Structure 1
Amino acid sequence: MTMGETPTATLVLPIILRPIFAQLERRDVGAAQSLRSAILKSEQTNPGFCYDLVAAIIRRAEINVNINEAVLRLQGNISEVDLSEYRLARTEEPFQELNRKSIALKVILSRIPDEITDRKTFLETIKEIASAIKKLLDVVNEIGSFIPGVTSKQAVEQRKKEFVKYSKKFSTTLKEYFKEGQSNAVFVSALYLIRQTNQIMLTVKSKCE
């Protein structure tokens, strides 16, 4: 797997850089648009560019930070405005419910770095994550009847299968964590789940809007 395919690399742009663009846009629209365009083009040409950029800034600043943990924490601070790429515009209740459930899951996952060292709290959080995963999948199933055409239905179904696969991997990673204490593996696995949640939203959006 290349750096551009890791969950952290794919989430640096939406979680770290897009909110910065949004803030810059309030001060200087032209500069923000130029910077966004240049960075997006660089990321498309060289997947992982945004990760490398942020990692280089962290190194230059001599900050000791686990970038996987940082990206996971920051997910909880993303506003709904910044999440517009992963938000469905359709007004029918299942689509709005999917918006709510996807955000809820990502916010719970973002709490992991703060709660992983407190076993009792973390075990409760794991239960919340399991419940949020189930609720998300239930809503995706409901949306099936709104999706036009066999090919589009299959595309959403495939995304759902991938999400389930990474949910199972997350569960396995948690079991390994309680044996070996490797918290970074949990952070990475949670980021995979966030990426898969975003992929579901993008696929539903492309097939239904």
Structure 2
Amino acid sequence: MKKYGLQLRAPSQQKKAAARPPLPPPRGFQEDEDDDVEREISRQASKNKALKDVEEQHKKALEEDPSVFDYDGVYDEMKEKVVRPRVQDREERKPKYIQNLMKKAEQRKWEQEIVYERKLVKERSKDDHLYADKDKFVTSAYKKKLAEQAKWMEEERLRQLREEKDDVSVAFSAISCDGFFPLREEERLRQLREEKQPSVEQPKGDHHKRGGDAVAAARERFLARKRAKLSLVL
């Protein structure tokens, strides 16, 4: 008899095949895997120990010297040691250079004023006969100016004398080193003994050249001072 409606399928009578368990790996391969694991564990342990030792050394070094790993600070300090002397030398030269410029400017100012005053005196002397019967009146400011000029000229004269003395000393030492002055007896005997002994001849051109340069420089300074004096007189 045919049935109508929802029909449920009856479970299959066939038994499902039981899943087979995975085959165990061969014994030799299993031992290799165990060795690899042990080596990895040993490597990680050695690495951790090395890192721990490094951290301990780092900590100990910082306790002894907090700036031991301050590489930028060390570099900056080294750079400062190199640059600081140059800056100090430049700063020291700058005031000296400015002072020399100021002295030169002051010297030129006094020289120009003296030359101008002497020129006026010469021009007035041409007309002195016209005002011979007149009283001459000199202001206190003009007297003060003349006194300052006289003081400066005296200081300049003393300075030139000192420079001439220094130039003579330099020239004298240069000439004496070149052998133009007689040597003492013991020095002459020593040179005679050295000449008897065979030795390599040393060039003397540079020595004489230095002496000649010193004399030439002293002579040039002397001529410059002489020209300055002539300009004041004229």
For normalisation by structure 1, the TM-score amounts to: 0.25
Structure 1 or 2: larger helix share?
Answer: 1
Question: Looking at CA atoms only, which structure, 1 or 2, has the larger radius of gyration?
Answer: 2
